[in-house]
Structure 1
Amino acid sequence: MSNLKDSNDNDESRSGGIQVIARASAVMRALGRNPQGLSLAAIAQDVGLARSTVQRIVAALETEQMVEAMRPGNGFRLGPALAQLIHQTHTDIISIARKSLETLCDHLQESVTLSCISGKHTVVIDRVIAERELRVVFPMGQSLPMYATADGKALLSTLTDEQVREWLGDRLDPLTDATHDIESLLVELAQIRANGFALDHQEHTVGISACAILIPTFMGPHAVAVVAPTSRFQIRSFEFKQALKECKESIAKLAGGN
Protein backbone atom coordinates (compact mmCIF):
# COMPACT_ATOMS: atom_id res chain seq x y z
CA MET A 1 0.00 0.00 0.00
CA SER A 2 2.83 2.36 0.94
CA ASN A 3 4.62 1.73 -2.36
CA LEU A 4 1.41 2.37 -4.30
CA LYS A 5 0.84 5.63 -2.44
CA ASP A 6 4.42 6.75 -3.03
CA SER A 7 4.02 5.96 -6.73
CA ASN A 8 0.80 7.98 -6.94
CA ASP A 9 2.43 10.90 -5.14
CA ASN A 10 5.36 10.82 -7.56
CA ASP A 11 3.02 10.74 -10.55
CA GLU A 12 1.05 13.71 -9.22
CA SER A 13 4.24 15.64 -8.51
CA ARG A 14 5.58 14.90 -11.99
CA SER A 15 2.27 15.90 -13.58
CA GLY A 16 2.21 19.15 -11.58
CA GLY A 17 5.77 19.95 -12.62
CA ILE A 18 4.96 19.38 -16.29
CA GLN A 19 1.92 21.64 -15.98
CA VAL A 20 4.01 24.45 -14.45
CA ILE A 21 6.57 24.17 -17.26
CA ALA A 22 3.82 24.15 -19.90
CA ARG A 23 2.18 27.24 -18.41
CA ALA A 24 5.49 29.10 -18.12
CA SER A 25 6.28 28.22 -21.73
CA ALA A 26 2.88 29.51 -22.84
CA VAL A 27 3.51 32.81 -21.04
CA MET A 28 6.93 33.19 -22.69
CA ARG A 29 5.54 32.36 -26.13
CA ALA A 30 2.83 35.01 -25.64
CA LEU A 31 5.51 37.59 -24.79
CA GLY A 32 7.58 36.42 -27.76
CA ARG A 33 4.66 37.15 -30.07
CA ASN A 34 4.32 40.60 -28.55
CA PRO A 35 7.80 42.18 -28.24
CA GLN A 36 6.19 45.52 -27.36
CA GLY A 37 5.15 43.95 -24.03
CA LEU A 38 1.93 42.75 -22.42
CA SER A 39 0.14 43.49 -19.18
CA LEU A 40 -0.67 40.66 -16.78
CA ALA A 41 -4.32 40.83 -17.84
CA ALA A 42 -3.37 40.62 -21.53
CA ILE A 43 -1.08 37.65 -20.89
CA ALA A 44 -3.84 35.90 -18.94
CA GLN A 45 -6.27 36.41 -21.80
CA ASP A 46 -3.75 35.20 -24.38
CA VAL A 47 -2.87 31.95 -22.54
CA GLY A 48 -6.29 31.29 -21.00
CA LEU A 49 -5.20 31.32 -17.36
CA ALA A 50 -6.36 33.24 -14.31
CA ARG A 51 -4.59 36.54 -13.74
CA SER A 52 -3.42 35.41 -10.30
CA THR A 53 -1.82 32.30 -11.84
CA VAL A 54 -0.09 34.38 -14.50
CA GLN A 55 1.14 36.78 -11.84
CA ARG A 56 2.83 33.93 -9.93
CA ILE A 57 4.41 32.52 -13.11
CA VAL A 58 5.65 35.94 -14.26
CA ALA A 59 7.12 36.64 -10.80
CA ALA A 60 9.06 33.35 -10.94
CA LEU A 61 10.27 34.03 -14.49
CA GLU A 62 11.25 37.57 -13.53
CA THR A 63 13.40 36.22 -10.70
CA GLU A 64 15.31 34.16 -13.29
CA GLN A 65 15.46 37.17 -15.69
CA MET A 66 13.51 35.21 -18.30
CA VAL A 67 11.03 38.11 -18.36
CA GLU A 68 11.44 41.71 -17.25
CA ALA A 69 9.14 44.52 -16.24
CA MET A 70 8.91 47.48 -18.59
CA ARG A 71 8.34 51.02 -17.36
CA PRO A 72 5.78 51.09 -14.51
CA GLY A 73 2.37 50.27 -15.92
CA ASN A 74 3.69 49.08 -19.30
CA GLY A 75 3.64 45.36 -18.55
CA PHE A 76 6.30 42.73 -19.20
CA ARG A 77 8.53 41.49 -22.03
CA LEU A 78 11.08 38.72 -22.54
CA GLY A 79 14.17 39.21 -20.39
CA PRO A 80 17.94 39.20 -20.99
CA ALA A 81 18.49 35.65 -19.72
CA LEU A 82 16.59 34.24 -22.71
CA ALA A 83 18.76 36.15 -25.17
CA GLN A 84 21.83 34.85 -23.33
CA LEU A 85 20.64 31.23 -23.64
CA ILE A 86 20.01 31.66 -27.36
CA HIS A 87 23.43 33.25 -27.75
CA GLN A 88 25.11 30.33 -25.97
CA THR A 89 23.23 27.78 -28.07
CA HIS A 90 24.51 29.37 -31.28
CA THR A 91 27.87 30.49 -29.98
CA ASP A 92 29.86 28.64 -32.67
CA ILE A 93 27.96 30.28 -35.53
CA ILE A 94 28.13 33.65 -33.79
CA SER A 95 31.89 33.45 -33.33
CA ILE A 96 32.32 32.40 -36.97
CA ALA A 97 30.07 35.14 -38.34
CA ARG A 98 31.03 37.99 -36.01
CA LYS A 99 33.97 39.36 -38.01
CA SER A 100 31.96 39.27 -41.24
CA LEU A 101 29.07 41.11 -39.56
CA GLU A 102 31.42 43.78 -38.23
CA THR A 103 32.97 44.20 -41.67
CA LEU A 104 29.52 44.50 -43.26
CA CYS A 105 28.43 47.09 -40.70
CA ASP A 106 31.64 49.12 -41.06
CA HIS A 107 31.38 49.07 -44.84
CA LEU A 108 27.74 50.13 -45.07
CA GLN A 109 27.49 52.14 -41.83
CA GLU A 110 24.14 50.45 -41.19
CA SER A 111 23.01 48.02 -38.50
CA VAL A 112 23.20 44.31 -39.37
CA THR A 113 21.72 41.21 -37.76
CA LEU A 114 22.25 37.44 -37.73
CA SER A 115 19.03 35.43 -37.33
CA CYS A 116 17.76 31.87 -37.18
CA ILE A 117 14.46 30.01 -36.89
CA SER A 118 13.23 29.36 -33.36
CA GLY A 119 9.96 27.47 -33.27
CA LYS A 120 7.94 29.22 -35.96
CA HIS A 121 9.48 32.64 -35.44
CA THR A 122 12.65 34.51 -36.31
CA VAL A 123 15.11 35.28 -33.52
CA VAL A 124 18.03 37.70 -33.78
CA ILE A 125 21.02 35.90 -32.21
CA ASP A 126 23.66 38.55 -32.94
CA ARG A 127 23.80 42.12 -34.18
CA VAL A 128 26.21 44.96 -34.90
CA ILE A 129 24.76 48.43 -34.44
CA ALA A 130 25.87 51.23 -36.74
CA GLU A 131 27.65 54.15 -35.07
CA ARG A 132 25.67 57.01 -36.58
CA GLU A 133 23.05 59.44 -35.39
CA LEU A 134 20.05 57.93 -37.22
CA ARG A 135 20.27 54.16 -36.93
CA VAL A 136 18.17 51.07 -36.27
CA VAL A 137 18.66 49.11 -33.03
CA PHE A 138 17.12 45.66 -33.39
CA PRO A 139 16.05 43.62 -30.34
CA MET A 140 18.13 40.59 -29.36
CA GLY A 141 16.43 37.32 -28.47
CA GLN A 142 12.85 38.38 -29.18
CA SER A 143 10.62 36.34 -31.48
CA LEU A 144 9.54 38.23 -34.59
CA PRO A 145 6.91 37.27 -37.18
CA MET A 146 8.70 35.60 -40.08
CA TYR A 147 6.31 36.89 -42.73
CA ALA A 148 7.00 40.59 -42.01
CA THR A 149 10.81 40.75 -41.79
CA ALA A 150 13.48 40.36 -44.45
CA ASP A 151 15.47 37.77 -42.48
CA GLY A 152 12.26 35.91 -41.61
CA LYS A 153 11.23 35.68 -45.26
CA ALA A 154 14.72 34.51 -46.24
CA LEU A 155 14.40 31.70 -43.69
CA LEU A 156 10.83 30.90 -44.76
CA SER A 157 12.09 30.44 -48.32
CA THR A 158 13.77 27.21 -47.18
CA LEU A 159 10.29 25.69 -46.68
CA THR A 160 7.80 24.54 -49.29
CA ASP A 161 4.63 26.56 -49.88
CA GLU A 162 2.66 23.81 -48.15
CA GLN A 163 4.90 24.03 -45.08
CA VAL A 164 4.59 27.82 -45.03
CA ARG A 165 0.79 27.57 -45.05
CA GLU A 166 0.93 24.96 -42.30
CA TRP A 167 3.19 27.15 -40.16
CA LEU A 168 1.49 30.50 -40.69
CA GLY A 169 -2.12 29.64 -41.52
CA ASP A 170 -4.22 31.42 -44.13
CA ARG A 171 -4.46 34.77 -42.33
CA LEU A 172 -1.44 36.91 -41.46
CA ASP A 173 -1.96 39.66 -38.90
CA PRO A 174 -1.13 42.99 -40.58
CA LEU A 175 1.53 45.00 -38.73
CA THR A 176 1.56 47.89 -41.22
CA ASP A 177 -0.27 48.71 -44.45
CA ALA A 178 2.58 47.00 -46.33
CA THR A 179 2.37 43.62 -44.56
CA HIS A 180 1.80 40.69 -46.93
CA ASP A 181 -1.23 38.43 -47.00
CA ILE A 182 -0.50 34.73 -47.44
CA GLU A 183 -0.91 34.71 -51.24
CA SER A 184 1.40 37.67 -51.92
CA LEU A 185 3.89 36.25 -49.42
CA LEU A 186 4.07 32.97 -51.34
CA VAL A 187 4.70 34.91 -54.56
CA GLU A 188 7.59 36.76 -52.92
CA LEU A 189 9.04 33.56 -51.44
CA ALA A 190 9.27 32.14 -54.97
CA GLN A 191 11.22 35.26 -55.98
CA ILE A 192 13.52 34.91 -52.96
CA ARG A 193 14.29 31.29 -53.88
CA ALA A 194 15.14 32.47 -57.40
CA ASN A 195 17.30 35.54 -56.64
CA GLY A 196 18.51 34.86 -53.11
CA PHE A 197 17.43 38.15 -51.50
CA ALA A 198 14.53 39.02 -49.22
CA LEU A 199 13.28 42.58 -48.69
CA ASP A 200 11.19 44.26 -46.03
CA HIS A 201 9.68 47.52 -47.25
CA GLN A 202 8.15 48.83 -44.00
CA GLU A 203 6.24 45.57 -43.56
CA HIS A 204 7.15 45.20 -39.87
CA THR A 205 7.72 48.81 -38.81
CA VAL A 206 6.85 52.03 -40.63
CA GLY A 207 10.02 53.94 -41.50
CA ILE A 208 12.33 50.90 -41.37
CA SER A 209 13.33 48.68 -44.31
CA ALA A 210 15.74 45.77 -44.64
CA CYS A 211 17.47 43.43 -47.06
CA ALA A 212 18.51 39.89 -46.09
CA ILE A 213 20.36 36.94 -47.57
CA LEU A 214 20.18 33.26 -46.59
CA ILE A 215 23.33 31.71 -45.07
CA PRO A 216 23.48 27.89 -45.06
CA THR A 217 25.56 26.65 -42.10
CA PHE A 218 26.40 23.38 -40.35
CA MET A 219 23.74 24.34 -37.76
CA GLY A 220 21.03 24.88 -40.34
CA PRO A 221 19.88 27.99 -42.20
CA HIS A 222 20.66 31.43 -40.86
CA ALA A 223 20.07 34.87 -42.37
CA VAL A 224 22.06 38.10 -42.37
CA ALA A 225 20.13 41.34 -42.79
CA VAL A 226 20.98 45.00 -43.26
CA VAL A 227 18.39 47.13 -41.46
CA ALA A 228 18.12 50.85 -42.19
CA PRO A 229 15.76 53.83 -42.19
CA THR A 230 13.63 53.61 -45.33
CA SER A 231 14.87 57.00 -46.54
CA ARG A 232 18.41 55.62 -46.91
CA PHE A 233 17.38 52.11 -47.92
CA GLN A 234 15.59 53.29 -51.07
CA ILE A 235 18.76 54.73 -52.60
CA ARG A 236 21.20 52.06 -51.39
CA SER A 237 19.40 48.74 -51.91
CA PHE A 238 21.70 47.61 -54.75
CA GLU A 239 24.76 48.42 -52.64
CA PHE A 240 23.26 46.45 -49.74
CA LYS A 241 22.76 43.39 -51.93
CA GLN A 242 26.33 43.40 -53.21
CA ALA A 243 27.72 43.72 -49.69
CA LEU A 244 25.45 40.93 -48.42
CA LYS A 245 26.71 38.59 -51.15
CA GLU A 246 30.29 39.17 -50.01
CA CYS A 247 29.28 38.64 -46.39
CA LYS A 248 27.56 35.35 -47.27
CA GLU A 249 30.63 34.07 -49.09
CA SER A 250 32.82 35.00 -46.12
CA ILE A 251 30.64 33.19 -43.56
CA ALA A 252 29.90 30.17 -45.78
CA LYS A 253 33.60 29.41 -46.20
CA LEU A 254 33.89 28.85 -42.46
CA ALA A 255 30.41 27.65 -41.51
CA GLY A 256 30.35 24.53 -43.66
CA GLY A 257 26.97 25.12 -45.31
CA ASN A 258 26.07 23.99 -48.82
Structure 2
Amino acid sequence: MSSEKVAAPAVVRASKILDLIAASAVPLSLADMVRELQLPKSTLHGLCGTLQQLGLITRLESGLVTLGPHVMIWANAFLARIDLTQEFFASWDDMRVLPEETITLSVRDGCDVVYLACRNGSRPLGFTFRAGMRLPSVYTATGKAMLSTLPPEQVRRLLSGDWPKPHTSNGPRSIDELLAELEAVRERGYSIDQQEVSEGMHCFGAPVFDSRASEAVAGVAVSIQSDSLDETLQESAGQAMRRLANRLSERLGSSRRA
Protein backbone atom coordinates (compact mmCIF):
# COMPACT_ATOMS: atom_id res chain seq x y z
CA MET A 1 0.00 0.00 0.00
CA SER A 2 1.15 3.54 -0.69
CA SER A 3 2.99 5.32 2.10
CA GLU A 4 0.97 8.48 1.40
CA LYS A 5 -1.30 9.66 4.18
CA VAL A 6 -4.64 7.85 4.09
CA ALA A 7 -7.73 10.04 4.47
CA ALA A 8 -10.05 7.27 5.70
CA PRO A 9 -8.14 4.76 7.88
CA ALA A 10 -11.36 2.95 8.85
CA VAL A 11 -11.93 2.08 5.19
CA VAL A 12 -8.38 0.75 4.93
CA ARG A 13 -8.89 -1.41 8.04
CA ALA A 14 -12.19 -2.72 6.68
CA SER A 15 -10.49 -3.57 3.39
CA LYS A 16 -7.77 -5.47 5.25
CA ILE A 17 -10.42 -7.45 7.12
CA LEU A 18 -12.13 -8.43 3.88
CA ASP A 19 -8.80 -9.31 2.25
CA LEU A 20 -7.86 -11.53 5.18
CA ILE A 21 -11.19 -13.37 5.14
CA ALA A 22 -11.04 -13.78 1.36
CA ALA A 23 -7.52 -15.23 1.53
CA SER A 24 -8.44 -17.78 4.20
CA ALA A 25 -9.51 -21.29 3.17
CA VAL A 26 -11.67 -21.59 6.32
CA PRO A 27 -13.88 -19.22 8.33
CA LEU A 28 -12.00 -17.07 10.84
CA SER A 29 -12.60 -16.15 14.45
CA LEU A 30 -12.26 -12.63 15.81
CA ALA A 31 -9.21 -13.84 17.74
CA ASP A 32 -7.64 -15.01 14.47
CA MET A 33 -8.21 -11.60 12.92
CA VAL A 34 -6.93 -9.70 15.94
CA ARG A 35 -3.73 -11.74 15.82
CA GLU A 36 -3.24 -11.43 12.05
CA LEU A 37 -4.17 -7.76 11.67
CA GLN A 38 -2.71 -6.47 14.93
CA LEU A 39 -5.82 -4.37 15.58
CA PRO A 40 -7.40 -3.63 18.98
CA LYS A 41 -10.19 -6.08 19.73
CA SER A 42 -12.72 -3.27 20.25
CA THR A 43 -11.82 -1.69 16.89
CA LEU A 44 -12.08 -5.00 15.06
CA HIS A 45 -15.38 -5.83 16.75
CA GLY A 46 -16.88 -2.49 15.71
CA LEU A 47 -15.69 -2.79 12.10
CA CYS A 48 -16.97 -6.35 11.81
CA GLY A 49 -20.34 -5.29 13.17
CA THR A 50 -20.63 -2.65 10.45
CA LEU A 51 -19.45 -5.04 7.73
CA GLN A 52 -22.01 -7.58 8.90
CA GLN A 53 -24.83 -5.01 8.75
CA LEU A 54 -23.79 -4.20 5.17
CA GLY A 55 -23.84 -7.85 4.17
CA LEU A 56 -20.10 -7.83 3.45
CA ILE A 57 -19.34 -10.50 6.06
CA THR A 58 -21.47 -13.24 7.61
CA ARG A 59 -21.14 -14.51 11.18
CA LEU A 60 -21.84 -18.25 11.36
CA GLU A 61 -23.60 -19.96 14.30
CA SER A 62 -20.17 -21.04 15.53
CA GLY A 63 -19.15 -17.38 15.75
CA LEU A 64 -16.68 -17.71 12.90
CA VAL A 65 -16.74 -15.18 10.08
CA THR A 66 -16.87 -15.58 6.28
CA LEU A 67 -17.50 -13.22 3.38
CA GLY A 68 -21.10 -12.08 3.03
CA PRO A 69 -23.45 -12.17 0.04
CA HIS A 70 -23.10 -8.48 -0.81
CA VAL A 71 -19.55 -9.10 -1.97
CA MET A 72 -20.96 -11.15 -4.86
CA ILE A 73 -22.78 -8.11 -6.23
CA TRP A 74 -19.44 -6.39 -6.71
CA ALA A 75 -17.78 -9.52 -8.03
CA ASN A 76 -20.53 -10.17 -10.55
CA ALA A 77 -20.47 -6.55 -11.74
CA PHE A 78 -16.70 -6.70 -12.22
CA LEU A 79 -16.82 -10.04 -14.03
CA ALA A 80 -19.68 -8.84 -16.23
CA ARG A 81 -17.58 -5.92 -17.41
CA ILE A 82 -14.64 -8.19 -18.12
CA ASP A 83 -16.93 -10.55 -20.06
CA LEU A 84 -18.43 -7.59 -21.91
CA THR A 85 -15.00 -6.40 -23.01
CA GLN A 86 -13.96 -9.88 -24.10
CA GLU A 87 -17.19 -10.34 -26.04
CA PHE A 88 -16.71 -6.94 -27.68
CA PHE A 89 -13.36 -7.97 -29.14
CA ALA A 90 -14.67 -11.42 -30.03
CA SER A 91 -17.67 -9.91 -31.85
CA TRP A 92 -15.45 -7.53 -33.78
CA ASP A 93 -13.10 -10.39 -34.69
CA ASP A 94 -16.10 -12.29 -36.07
CA MET A 95 -17.31 -9.39 -38.20
CA ARG A 96 -14.27 -7.19 -38.93
CA VAL A 97 -16.49 -4.15 -39.47
CA LEU A 98 -14.88 -0.89 -40.60
CA PRO A 99 -11.31 -2.10 -39.98
CA GLU A 100 -9.79 1.30 -40.81
CA GLU A 101 -11.85 3.19 -38.22
CA THR A 102 -11.72 3.44 -34.42
CA ILE A 103 -14.44 1.51 -32.58
CA THR A 104 -15.20 1.89 -28.86
CA LEU A 105 -17.19 0.12 -26.16
CA SER A 106 -18.60 1.99 -23.18
CA VAL A 107 -21.10 1.64 -20.34
CA ARG A 108 -23.26 4.29 -18.71
CA ASP A 109 -22.48 5.46 -15.17
CA GLY A 110 -25.16 7.93 -14.16
CA CYS A 111 -25.02 10.89 -16.55
CA ASP A 112 -21.66 9.85 -17.99
CA VAL A 113 -20.29 7.10 -20.15
CA VAL A 114 -17.14 5.24 -19.17
CA TYR A 115 -15.07 3.70 -21.94
CA LEU A 116 -14.12 0.08 -21.38
CA ALA A 117 -12.31 -0.77 -24.60
CA CYS A 118 -11.10 0.72 -27.86
CA ARG A 119 -10.09 -0.93 -31.12
CA ASN A 120 -7.97 1.67 -32.86
CA GLY A 121 -8.18 1.96 -36.62
CA SER A 122 -5.50 2.89 -39.10
CA ARG A 123 -6.97 6.33 -39.87
CA PRO A 124 -5.82 9.17 -37.58
CA LEU A 125 -8.61 10.84 -35.59
CA GLY A 126 -6.95 13.72 -33.78
CA PHE A 127 -8.62 12.37 -30.62
CA THR A 128 -7.55 9.51 -28.37
CA PHE A 129 -10.02 7.21 -26.62
CA ARG A 130 -8.68 5.25 -23.67
CA ALA A 131 -10.10 2.75 -21.21
CA GLY A 132 -11.44 4.51 -18.13
CA MET A 133 -12.17 7.77 -19.96
CA ARG A 134 -15.38 9.44 -18.76
CA LEU A 135 -17.48 11.78 -20.93
CA PRO A 136 -21.00 13.26 -20.65
CA SER A 137 -23.48 10.81 -22.18
CA VAL A 138 -25.51 13.55 -23.87
CA TYR A 139 -22.65 14.37 -26.26
CA THR A 140 -21.40 10.87 -27.10
CA ALA A 141 -22.71 8.39 -29.64
CA THR A 142 -22.65 5.49 -27.18
CA GLY A 143 -24.30 7.63 -24.50
CA LYS A 144 -27.15 8.68 -26.76
CA ALA A 145 -27.58 5.09 -27.94
CA MET A 146 -27.95 3.89 -24.35
CA LEU A 147 -30.18 6.81 -23.28
CA SER A 148 -32.49 6.09 -26.22
CA THR A 149 -33.45 2.80 -24.55
CA LEU A 150 -34.76 4.58 -21.44
CA PRO A 151 -38.27 6.04 -21.06
CA PRO A 152 -38.25 9.85 -21.60
CA GLU A 153 -39.29 10.55 -18.00
CA GLN A 154 -36.38 8.50 -16.70
CA VAL A 155 -34.03 10.53 -18.91
CA ARG A 156 -35.54 13.73 -17.48
CA ARG A 157 -34.95 12.55 -13.92
CA LEU A 158 -31.43 11.43 -14.72
CA LEU A 159 -30.51 14.84 -16.12
CA SER A 160 -32.49 16.99 -13.68
CA GLY A 161 -29.34 18.62 -12.28
CA ASP A 162 -26.93 20.99 -13.97
CA TRP A 163 -26.59 20.45 -17.70
CA PRO A 164 -23.28 18.77 -18.62
CA LYS A 165 -20.54 21.15 -19.69
CA PRO A 166 -20.13 20.99 -23.49
CA HIS A 167 -16.84 20.05 -25.13
CA THR A 168 -17.53 21.93 -28.38
CA SER A 169 -20.13 24.34 -29.72
CA ASN A 170 -22.22 21.39 -30.95
CA GLY A 171 -24.72 19.13 -29.24
CA PRO A 172 -27.98 19.46 -27.26
CA ARG A 173 -28.22 22.24 -24.71
CA SER A 174 -31.45 21.25 -22.97
CA ILE A 175 -33.40 18.17 -22.03
CA ASP A 176 -36.01 18.88 -24.69
CA GLU A 177 -33.36 19.06 -27.40
CA LEU A 178 -31.90 15.80 -26.16
CA LEU A 179 -35.26 14.01 -26.04
CA ALA A 180 -35.99 15.06 -29.61
CA GLU A 181 -32.61 13.69 -30.65
CA LEU A 182 -33.21 10.42 -28.78
CA GLU A 183 -36.50 9.99 -30.64
CA ALA A 184 -34.57 10.41 -33.89
CA VAL A 185 -32.11 7.76 -32.69
CA ARG A 186 -34.96 5.29 -32.19
CA GLU A 187 -36.37 6.01 -35.64
CA ARG A 188 -32.99 5.91 -37.38
CA GLY A 189 -31.67 2.91 -35.49
CA TYR A 190 -28.34 4.46 -34.53
CA SER A 191 -27.04 7.57 -32.74
CA ILE A 192 -24.77 10.35 -33.96
CA ASP A 193 -22.20 12.52 -32.22
CA GLN A 194 -21.80 15.41 -34.65
CA GLN A 195 -18.47 16.90 -33.56
CA GLU A 196 -19.76 17.13 -29.99
CA VAL A 197 -16.87 15.37 -28.26
CA SER A 198 -14.19 16.76 -30.58
CA GLU A 199 -14.18 19.14 -33.53
CA GLY A 200 -13.58 17.28 -36.76
CA MET A 201 -14.87 13.92 -35.47
CA HIS A 202 -18.23 12.24 -36.05
CA CYS A 203 -19.25 9.10 -34.13
CA PHE A 204 -22.08 6.64 -34.81
CA GLY A 205 -23.35 4.33 -32.08
CA ALA A 206 -25.81 1.58 -31.19
CA PRO A 207 -27.02 0.06 -27.90
CA VAL A 208 -26.05 -3.35 -26.55
CA PHE A 209 -28.39 -5.49 -24.44
CA ASP A 210 -27.97 -8.55 -22.23
CA SER A 211 -30.46 -11.17 -21.05
CA ARG A 212 -31.42 -9.37 -17.85
CA ALA A 213 -32.59 -5.86 -18.69
CA SER A 214 -34.76 -3.99 -21.15
CA GLU A 215 -32.39 -1.02 -21.14
CA ALA A 216 -28.98 -1.07 -22.77
CA VAL A 217 -26.06 -2.35 -20.73
CA ALA A 218 -23.46 -0.87 -23.07
CA GLY A 219 -22.95 0.95 -26.35
CA VAL A 220 -20.61 0.58 -29.30
CA ALA A 221 -19.57 3.38 -31.63
CA VAL A 222 -17.31 4.09 -34.58
CA SER A 223 -15.42 7.38 -34.85
CA ILE A 224 -14.63 8.90 -38.25
CA GLN A 225 -12.96 12.11 -39.39
CA SER A 226 -15.69 14.55 -40.37
CA ASP A 227 -14.00 15.68 -43.58
CA SER A 228 -14.15 12.13 -44.97
CA LEU A 229 -17.88 11.72 -44.32
CA ASP A 230 -20.68 11.66 -46.85
CA GLU A 231 -24.25 10.36 -46.60
CA THR A 232 -23.28 6.93 -47.88
CA LEU A 233 -20.48 6.47 -45.34
CA GLN A 234 -22.69 7.81 -42.52
CA GLU A 235 -25.42 5.28 -43.25
CA SER A 236 -22.86 2.52 -43.69
CA ALA A 237 -21.21 3.38 -40.37
CA GLY A 238 -24.53 3.53 -38.52
CA GLN A 239 -25.73 0.21 -39.90
CA ALA A 240 -22.36 -1.40 -39.19
CA MET A 241 -22.66 -0.39 -35.53
CA ARG A 242 -26.16 -1.83 -35.41
CA ARG A 243 -24.84 -5.14 -36.71
CA LEU A 244 -21.93 -5.13 -34.27
CA ALA A 245 -24.21 -4.21 -31.34
CA ASN A 246 -26.66 -6.94 -32.30
CA ARG A 247 -23.90 -9.52 -32.54
CA LEU A 248 -22.61 -8.49 -29.12
CA SER A 249 -26.14 -8.57 -27.67
CA GLU A 250 -26.60 -12.06 -29.09
CA ARG A 251 -23.37 -13.22 -27.48
CA LEU A 252 -24.61 -11.77 -24.16
CA GLY A 253 -27.82 -13.81 -24.40
CA SER A 254 -30.25 -11.07 -25.45
CA SER A 255 -32.98 -11.44 -28.05
CA ARG A 256 -33.43 -7.65 -28.22
CA ARG A 257 -31.82 -5.87 -31.14
CA ALA A 258 -30.69 -2.31 -31.85
User: Which among 238, 242, 247 is matched to residue 244 of structure 2?
Assistant: 247
Taking the aligned partners of 1:149 and 1:180, their CA distance within structure 2 comes to 11
Classify 1:172/1:117 alpha carbon distance in 2 versus 1 (closer, same or farther; 3 Å).
closer
Please report how far the alpha carbon of residue 226 of structure 1 lies from its aligned counterpart in structure 2 after TM superposition: 0.3
TM-score by length of 1: 0.61
User: Which among 219, 224, 242 is matched to residue 228 of structure 1?
Assistant: 224
Paired amino acid for 2:103 = V
Structure 1 gap segments, 5+ residues each = 1-14, 22-85
Classify 1:133/1:147 alpha carbon distance in 2 versus 1 (closer, same or farther; 3 Å).
closer
Please report how far the alpha carbon of residue 253 of structure 1 lies from its aligned counterpart in structure 2 after TM superposition: 2.2
Please report how far the alpha carbon of residue 230 of structure 1 lies from its aligned counterpart in structure 2 after TM superposition: 1.1
Partner of 1:129: 120
- SS of residue paired to 2:171: coil
Partner of 1:171: 163
Classify 1:167/1:133 alpha carbon distance in 2 versus 1 (closer, same or farther; 3 Å).
closer
Give the conservation status (yes or no) of the 8 Å contact 2:115–2:131: yes
Please report how far the alpha carbon of residue 97 of structure 1 lies from its aligned counterpart in structure 2 after TM superposition: 2.0
Partner of 2:209: 216
Partner of 1:181: 173
Classify 1:133/1:148 alpha carbon distance in 2 versus 1 (closer, same or farther; 3 Å).
closer
Paired amino acid for 1:128 = R
Taking the aligned partners of 1:191 and 1:133, their CA distance within structure 2 comes to 29
Task: Choose 141-150 or 106-115, whichever is displaced more.
Answer: 106-115
Task: Choose 103-112 or 175-184, whichever is displaced more.
Answer: 103-112
Give the conservation status (yes or no) of the 8 Å contact 1:101–1:127: no
1:41-80 to 2 correspondences below 5 Å: none
Partner of 1:118: 109
Taking the aligned partners of 2:127 and 2:105, their CA distance within structure 1 comes to 14
Paired amino acid for 1:231 = D
**Aligned-pair RMSD on alpha carbons?**
2.9
Taking the aligned partners of 1:103 and 1:232, their CA distance within structure 2 comes to 26
Classify 1:132/1:102 alpha carbon distance in 2 versus 1 (closer, same or farther; 3 Å).
farther
Classify 1:123/1:210 alpha carbon distance in 2 versus 1 (closer, same or farther; 3 Å).
same
Paired amino acid for 1:201 = Q
Please report how far the alpha carbon of residue 99 of structure 1 lies from its aligned counterpart in structure 2 after TM superposition: 2.4
Classify 1:185/1:104 alpha carbon distance in 2 versus 1 (closer, same or farther; 3 Å).
farther
Classify 1:198/1:158 alpha carbon distance in 2 versus 1 (closer, same or farther; 3 Å).
same
Paired amino acid for 1:173 = K
Q: Which has the larger radius of gyration?
A: 2
Give the conservation status (yes or no) of the 8 Å contact 1:111–1:136: no
- SS of residue paired to 1:116: strand
Runs of 4+ with >4 A deviation: 86-89, 102-106, 133-136
Please report how far the alpha carbon of residue 216 of structure 1 lies from its aligned counterpart in structure 2 after TM superposition: 0.9
Give the conservation status (yes or no) of the 8 Å contact 1:147–1:180: yes
Partner of 1:73: none
Please report how far the alpha carbon of residue 143 of structure 1 lies from its aligned counterpart in structure 2 after TM superposition: 1.5
Partner of 1:101: 92
Please report how far the alpha carbon of residue 104 of structure 1 lies from its aligned counterpart in structure 2 after TM superposition: 5.7
Taking the aligned partners of 1:16 and 1:193, their CA distance within structure 2 comes to 48
1:20-39 to 2 correspondences below 5 Å: none
More helix by share: 1
- SS of residue paired to 2:209: strand
Give the conservation status (yes or no) of the 8 Å contact 1:109–1:132: yes
Please report how far the alpha carbon of residue 118 of structure 1 lies from its aligned counterpart in structure 2 after TM superposition: 1.8
Give the conservation status (yes or no) of the 8 Å contact 2:112–2:134: yes
- SS of residue paired to 1:252: helix
